[in-house]
Amino acid sequence: MIFIDLSKYFDFSYKFYNLNQISGKIEKYRLEVESVENVKLKSEYMKLQDLLKIVGIISTGGQAKGFLDEYEVLVNNERETRRGRKLRGGDIVTFGDNNFKIVDKDEA
């Protein structure tokens, strides 16, 4: 039996896909498919802990720290652990299957 190393002549790497990379690309566009609930600002910004209180996830601002430590909360697709993070118009907050878009007070 003769073995010939074909890797010198052909690139076989195209057949191997990193499934984590593929699922990451799918996750990136997940917000476009799922429903997004608008939350209208009453001032220039609101803190992340205030949003969590408004939507009924927590009842006090002090609970926000524990919630953010235990659960993954994304602001504009980046993990956020600061309860005082300022949310402004256009920001999208995601946790679990919940998506909230922060809307400026002047927007309809």
What are the start-end ranges of the E strands in 1-108? 37-40, 46-47, 74-75, 78-79, 86-87, 92-95, 98-103
CA dist 5 and 46 (Å) reads 62
In the predicted model, residues of the chain with pLDDT beneath 50 are 1, 6, 9-33
* Reported pTM: 0.65
What is the topology classification, in CATH, of domain 35-108? 3.10.290
In angstroms, the Cα distances linking 91 to 26, 27, 62, 65, 97 are 20, 17, 23, 20, 16
Q: How many helices (H) does the chain have, and how many strands (E)?
A: 4, 7
Domain ranges of the chain: 35-108
Give per-residue pLDDT as tens, 77-97.
Answer: 999 999 999 999 999 999 888
